[in-house]
Chain A
Amino acid sequence: MNDKVVGKAKKIKPAGRRREQERREFLRTAVLAAGVTGFSLLGLIPAARGDVLRLRPPGALKTPNDEQEYLASCIKCGQCVQVCPVEAIILDDLQSGVGVGTPYINARDQACDFSCDGLQCVLACPTGALTHDLNYPAESRMGFAELSRPKACLAIQGKGFKGLARGADYKGKLRYDEIDRWNPIQVADHPYDLELCDLCVRQCPIEIRISQCAEGKPPSGDQNQCPPQHAIALEPVDGATNGAMVPVIKEGCVGCGVCEMVCPPEPPAIVINIEKFTDMA
């Protein structure tokens, strides 16, 4: 106390300057606090507007139009990304605000084909953002397939499909049980020759499980998952003479996105509607 008084009495100017410096520091600090807080709050805008809604990995703690719990619980570590055998999961970026670093799937580039069988991403999640309540692929709710461009659908036109589903440069992978039970291969390495295009049904992971169950060979030999409900089927087009069929999405669809991924037309005839889950149809 004494020192201060003496200091003030001796040198009035420096004390005044010091007060001025303190005032400036206080103002700077207030601007810094407002600036950083304001910037961090900007991150809430995409969430509030619903812009961050995306196709999320299996077990994501969300409803079709509310991802709040999912975004709140995700710790943004990417362990789900690391365990996915087909590398379907990618992390979101800063334009999604609070969604930065949260995992999502771009089905057209690489869908989740459940080739890990055991829902590895769910098991890897440390926070329960991908909830452990889930035991089998058929229990996941990611979205619901939708025939968005029926005119483009080869089956509806009665056409077959020969060649590579997505071209030679396509990087996406799928697991083909008949080729390698354990390792997914590139779709570009797997040409098809189909009289009528049925890729969306043929590659549907749920439909594949149904046939595995019928053969008595479900994944991991676990009979509890047998049989899941049908997810998609080709049904005859009324009055068609050329054998045309229409893909009909059934209540077993979980929205994994494989149909959207393998559909040959560009853009695809079938896509995942993330704002719909099967149970709430």
Chain B
Amino acid sequence: MSYITESLKQLFGAAPTRPSKEQMSVEVKEIHLYKKENPFTKADFQQLQEEHGPASTKWRNRRWATLIFINLLFVVSYYFDVQILEGALTASRFVGFHMADLNSALQVTLAFKHMVLNLVIGTVTVFIIWILLGGRTFCSWVCPYHLLSEWAESLHLYLVKKNWVKNRTFDRRVRTVFYVLFALMALISGYTVFETISVTGIVSRALIYGPGIALIWVGLVLLFEVFYSRRAWCRYVCPIGITYGVVGAISPLRVKYNVKDCHHEGDCRSVCLVPHVLDMTIKGRASDVNVDVSADCTRCGMCVDVCPTNSLNFEMKGIGKHL
């Protein structure tokens, strides 16, 4: 199955395709067989842990720095009137050039049924940027709610470890249902219904224009994520993720998995916001020696940081491994 179809399938909530023996390459079959005949021992894992040490924070630091920098740039541009990045995440002007959030632009267009030239320019610009940079990269590298949610997640994981809360999962297909519902509601009601509850828009505006009662909604969503379901908004609700995910399906920037040295211990899946995209790291699942992680991946780099065997890396398709 091609990368694009597999990406769309996962984005819309289906389980990742499990390759059959016939779909696997000869090389990868040899690797799977070798690992089956020579299973990793406890000593192997121990040695690996000692060699690798604690997980790196390289990509997390870069990502947090980028996310904070971009959001601060909005704030600073307004407060000090330096006019570098004016507006909010929903639409802005970067040194005068129009930019529009793809999902907000879509909601407005569905509700208004008309698109002025400036919005077309802003949307196309942002579309091209995220084709180059990987679509859902927006989620983990730019969205200010993502950072709050990441902190809520660590609290959630701590509480789970203490056995004080239990993580409940939802059917991932519900995000596609939401996507269709929000599109229909905008189209039929003529109002941008999703924008009203979009935590991304609310947090972005609160940072720039000051807090309001809309932040109570953001707080409730965060509490839901801490006490009920891990990363629920991003995983099961937010249509922004699907919009950017579809763009990312044609992006050359991906995370690449190499099965050769992988110990299949699953550290990557345990830190991942969208762990289904890493199903190929389960023993015997990889269809080839190298497999690209699907476009539902937010390119956050947590798996790259945590992987003890360097089996996961960023790549720019056509340019080869970079960074």
Interface-facing stretch out of A73-81, A166-174, A223-231 = A73-81
- Is the CB of A192 closer than 8 A to any CB of chain B? no
- Is the CB of B42 closer than 8 A to any CB of chain A? no
- Is the CB of B2 closer than 8 A to any CB of chain A? no
Q: When the two chains form the complex, which single residue of B78, B108, B169 contacts A73, counting CB atoms closer than 8 Å? A: B108
Q: Is A93 a contact partner of B171 (Cβ separation < 8 A)?
A: no
Q: Is A43 a contact partner of B88 (Cβ separation < 8 A)?
A: no
Q: Is B197 a contact partner of A128 (Cβ separation < 8 A)?
A: no
CB distance from A181 to the nearest CB of B (A): 19
Q: Is B191 a contact partner of A47 (Cβ separation < 8 A)?
A: yes
Interface-facing stretch out of B112-120, B143-151, B304-312 = B112-120
Contact residues of A between 93 and 132, Cβ < 8 Å to B: 93-95, 97-98, 100-101, 124-128, 132
Contact residues of A between 132 and 170, Cβ < 8 Å to B: 132
B residues near A182, Cβ cutoff 8 Å: none
Q: Is B196 a contact partner of A81 (Cβ separation < 8 A)?
A: no
A40 to B216, CA, bound (A): 14
- B202-233: contact bitstring with A at CB < 8 Å (1 yes, 0 no)? 10010011001110110000000000000010
A residues near B168, Cβ cutoff 8 Å: 25, 28
- A35-48: contact bitstring with B at CB < 8 Å (1 yes, 0 no)? 01101110110010
A71 to B192, CA, bound (A): 8
CB distance from B232 to the nearest CB of A (A): 8
- Is the CB of A91 closer than 8 A to any CB of chain B? yes
Say whether, besides A36-B178, A126-B119, A93 and B213 are in contact (CB < 8 Å). yes
- B98-141: contact bitstring with A at CB < 8 Å (1 yes, 0 no)? 10110011001001101010110010000000000000000000
Residue of A nearest to B177 (CB): A33
Q: When the two chains form the complex, which single residue of A37, A44, A81, A83 contacts B178, counting CB atoms closer than 8 Å? A: A37
CB distance from A194 to the nearest CB of B (A): 35
Residue of A nearest to B89 (CB): A77
Q: When the two chains form the complex, which single residue of A73, A76, A124, A127 contacts B205, counting CB atoms closer than 8 Å? A: A76
A100 to B204, CA, bound (A): 13
Q: When the two chains form the complex, which single residue of B86, B191, B213 contacts A72, counting CB atoms closer than 8 Å? A: B191
- Is the CB of A222 closer than 8 A to any CB of chain B? no
Q: Is B112 a contact partner of A93 (Cβ separation < 8 A)?
A: no
- Count contacts between A and B, CB distance < 8 Å: 152
**Chain B binding surface, main DSSP class:** helix
Q: Is B208 a contact partner of A78 (Cβ separation < 8 A)?
A: yes
- Is the CB of A68 closer than 8 A to any CB of chain B? yes
A residues near B193, Cβ cutoff 8 Å: 40-41, 43-44, 98
A residues near B257, Cβ cutoff 8 Å: none
Residue of B nearest to A128 (CB): B116
Contact residues of A between 52 and 70, Cβ < 8 Å to B: 68-69
- Is the CB of B35 closer than 8 A to any CB of chain A? no
Interface-facing stretch out of B54-62, B181-189, B260-268 = B181-189
B residues near A77, Cβ cutoff 8 Å: 87-88, 90-92
- Is the CB of A183 closer than 8 A to any CB of chain B? no
Residue of B nearest to A90 (CB): B209
- Is the CB of B65 closer than 8 A to any CB of chain A? no
CB distance from A18 to the nearest CB of B (A): 13
CB distance from A61 to the nearest CB of B (A): 9
A97 to B197, CA, bound (A): 9
CB distance from A23 to the nearest CB of B (A): 11
- Is the CB of B237 closer than 8 A to any CB of chain A? yes
Q: When the two chains form the complex, which single residue of A29, A68, A95 contacts B174, counting CB atoms closer than 8 Å? A: A29
Q: When the two chains form the complex, which single residue of B90, B112, B171, B196 contacts A98, counting CB atoms closer than 8 Å? A: B196
Which of A68, A95, A125, A127 counts the most chain B CB atoms within 10 A?
Answer: A127
Q: Is B201 a contact partner of A73 (Cβ separation < 8 A)?
A: no
B residues near A74, Cβ cutoff 8 Å: 108, 192
CB distance from B185 to the nearest CB of A (A): 7
B residues near A125, Cβ cutoff 8 Å: 118
CB distance from B209 to the nearest CB of A (A): 5
Say whether, besides A36-B237, A39-B197, A77-B90, A25 and B185 are in contact (CB < 8 Å). no
- Is the CB of B283 closer than 8 A to any CB of chain A? no
Contact residues of A between 179 and 219, Cβ < 8 Å to B: none
- Is the CB of B252 closer than 8 A to any CB of chain A? no
B residues near A28, Cβ cutoff 8 Å: 168, 170
Q: Is B196 a contact partner of A127 (Cβ separation < 8 A)?
A: no
Q: When the two chains form the complex, which single residue of B101, B177, B191, B217 contacts A94, counting CB atoms closer than 8 Å? A: B217
Q: Is B93 a contact partner of A79 (Cβ separation < 8 A)?
A: yes
- Is the CB of B236 closer than 8 A to any CB of chain A? yes
Q: Is B205 a contact partner of A78 (Cβ separation < 8 A)?
A: yes
Contact residues of B between 155 and 183, Cβ < 8 Å to A: 168-171, 174, 177-178, 181-182
- B284-305: contact bitstring with A at CB < 8 Å (1 yes, 0 no)? 0000000000000000000000
Say whether, besides A33-B178, A40-B194, A75 and B90 are in contact (CB < 8 Å). yes
CB distance from B242 to the nearest CB of A (A): 15
The 6 tightest CB contacts between A and B, nearest first, are: A43-B196, A77-B91, A128-B116, A94-B214, A72-B111, A77-B87
Residue numbers of A with Cβ under 8 A of B are 25-26, 28-29, 32-33, 36-37, 39-41, 43-44, 47, 68-69, 71-79, 81-83, 90-91, 93-95, 97-98, 100-101, 124-128, 132
Excluding A72-B108, A75-B101, A82-B86, 7 further A-B contacts by CB distance (< 8 Å) are A25-B170, A44-B191, A76-B88, A78-B209, A94-B217, A126-B91, A126-B93
Residue numbers of B with Cβ under 8 A of A are 77-78, 86-88, 90-93, 98, 100-101, 104-105, 108, 111-112, 114, 116, 118-119, 122, 168-171, 174, 177-178, 181-182, 185, 189-197, 201-202, 205, 208-209, 212-214, 216-217, 232, 236-237
